[in-house]
């Protein structure tokens, strides 16, 4: 079936009003949940083929997010979809005002390869919960997960409602030439600009979940053991191929050497060896080669070993790094952690403020003044104080970027709102209306209007 035909059929199906029915939405969300649960082994096998992700990591960082999203919407869909009454101002009396969430129509979700289930299925689930028809385009870079999602969804869902479209750049380009009611894209800033430009041709609204260089700051007032343990876990999770991973560390000079040794200790303790189940491979040779070039031997503190055949790069710490080094010019997106020393906390905040706004930022300290300065001065998508990455696990927090790191957000009610239009309705009574707004106009009427408005 040609993709133009699928999109056309989805638009026609949406116009039948069936997807606006809450029972209809819940029925298919429940069906998707059952498919995921019943095919967990198949899903785990596919992602392991793509880049060696373990069953433990696949469940904790992928499938659990997806299943929790489904459960959230099944539990909250009635209240999310219910019209909200709002106050009616004096000028519109006698009347009542309300906001009605309504689905947008036919939407396109373009997923990413680094968390291929979570970053494809979670926005898709939000789109379905909001009452839309959806085309899902997973990343072709994680080929096996793409094919598995296509098989499970296309064999169990009507294509006029939900359809997974396989393919690479050519297929994505063809999709972007079509008119959708919203596009949701997760990926690099470079590709995000292409998607945004294509969407502008149709005035299609977009959500862009991008990335950037997310800093982690460690001050002398931090619990250093906790900081080191959590940073090592968050940075080397998925071999650093995480959009909200700490991209680089800023460590106060007085604890710099001590903290480097703590990082080394936990990397060793967590056993990120070549055959370790808890450590994934780099997704492909292209990314592997790019990352290896970012490791300068003269600034290597720990790690740095790699295996081209296995696409393995050892967790790597870089020391004596400055802002001009190659590794500081782009998002790393791999298991390389540059460490920069600082002496003035407020000055380092100013330096971050002058850079592109990151998707995430992290601070480790027990100093309340430093916490307040961090929260108030730096603009970033979301983050943590005394932890990394874990803010994603709270579906009551919106997830999204700002500036160069993205547009819009999702998770929980924010995902529902991302794929909904908030339709405003004012219903007026047909009696008791003064003639003040109607011609002929007089100074007396204007006087009354000034008081009312």
Contact 10, 163 (CB under 8 A): yes
Distance CA 217, CA 210 (A): 21
Paired strand residues for 186: 209
CA triplet 115, 117, 123: central angle to 5 degrees?
Answer: 100
Catalytic-residue membership of 140? no
First to last CA, the chain: 57
Q: DSSP letters of 217-247?
A: EE-TTS-HHHHHHHHHHHHHGGGG--TTS--
**Tokens 């079936």 belong to residue:** 1
Whole-Å CA distances, 245 to 76, 157, 233, 267, 352 = 30, 35, 10, 15, 16
Distance CA 205, CA 293 (A): 37
List the catalytic residue out of 62, 143, 160, 209: 209
With residue 415 as reference, give the H or E element that holds it: helix 413-418
Q: DSSP letters of 69-96?
A: HHHHHHHHHHHHHS-EEEPPPGGG-SEE
Distance CA 287, CA 294 (A): 11
Sheet of strand 248-252, all strands in order from the earlier edge strand to the far edge: 300-302, 316-318, 336-342, 248-252, 215-218, 360-364, 382-385
Number of H helices, E strands in the chain: 16, 20
The number of angstroms, rounded, from the C-alpha of 406 to the middle of its chain's C-alpha atoms is: 9
Distance CA 316, CA 302 (A): 6
What is the DSSP code (8-state) at residue 253? G
Contact 344, 323 (CB under 8 A): no
Counting beta carbons within 10 angstroms of the beta carbon of residue 415, is it exposed (0 to 12), middle (13 to 18) or buried (19 or more)? buried
Query: CB neighbours (10 Å) of residue 355?
Result: 14
Which of these, 374, 331, 291, lies nearest to 191 by C-alpha position? 331
Catalytically active residues are: 209
């Amino acid at each position: 079936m040609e993709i133009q035909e699928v999109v056309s059929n989805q638009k026609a199906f949406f116009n039948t009003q069936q997807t606006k029915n809450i029972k209809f939405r819940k029925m298919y969300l429940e069906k998707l949940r059952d498919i995921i649960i019943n095919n967990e082994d198949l899903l785990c096998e596919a992602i392991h083929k793509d880049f060696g992700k373990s069953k433990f990591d696949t469940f904790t960082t992928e499938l659990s997010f997806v299943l929790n999203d489904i459960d959230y919407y099944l539990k909250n869909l009635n209240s999310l979809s219910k019209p909200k009454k709002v106050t009616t101002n004096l000028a519109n009396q006698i009347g009542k005002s309300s906001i009605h969430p309504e689905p947008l129509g036919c939407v396109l979700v373009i997923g990413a390869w680094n968390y291929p289930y979570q970053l494809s299925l979670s926005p898709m689930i939000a789109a379905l919960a909001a009452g839309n028809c959806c085309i899902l385009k997973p990343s072709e870079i994680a080929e096996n997960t793409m094919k598995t999602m296509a098989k499970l969804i296309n064999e169990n869902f009507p294509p006029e409602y939900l359809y997974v479209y396989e393919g690479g750049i050519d297929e994505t380009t063809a999709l972007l030439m079509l008119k959708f009611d919203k596009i949701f894209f997760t990926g690099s800033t470079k590709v995000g600009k292409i998607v945004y430009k294509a969407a502008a041709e149709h005035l299609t609204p977009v959500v862009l979940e991008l990335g950037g260089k997310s800093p982690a700051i460690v001050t002398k007032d931090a619990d250093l053991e906790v900081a080191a343990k959590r940073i090592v876990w968050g940075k080397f999770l998925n071999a650093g191929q995480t959009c909200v991973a700490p991209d680089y560390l800023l460590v106060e000079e007085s604890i710099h050497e001590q903290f480097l040794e703590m990082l080394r200790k936990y990397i060793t303790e967590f056993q990120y060896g070549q055959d370790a189940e808890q450590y994934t491979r780099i997704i492909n040779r292209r990314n592997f080669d790019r990352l290896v070039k970012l490791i300068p031997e003269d600034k290597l503190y720990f790690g740095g070993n790699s295996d081209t055949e296995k696409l393995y790069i050892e967790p790597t710490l870089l020391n004596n790094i400055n802002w001009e080094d190659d590794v500081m010019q782009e998002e790393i997106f791999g298991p390389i952690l540059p460490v920069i020393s600082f002496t003035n906390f407020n000055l380092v905040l100013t330096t971050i403020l002058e850079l592109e706004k990151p998707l995430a930022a992290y601070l480790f300290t027990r100093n309340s003044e430093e916490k307040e300065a961090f929260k108030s001065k730096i603009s970033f998508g979301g983050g943590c104080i005394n932890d990394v990455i874990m803010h994603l696990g709270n579906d009551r927090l919106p997830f999204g970027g700002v500036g160069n790191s993205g547009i819009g957000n999702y998770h929980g009610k924010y995902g529902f709102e991302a794929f909904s239009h908030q339709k405003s309705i004012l219903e007026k009574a047909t009696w008791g209306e003064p003639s003040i707004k109607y011609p002929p106009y007089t100074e007396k009427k204007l006087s009354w209007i000034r008081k009312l408005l």
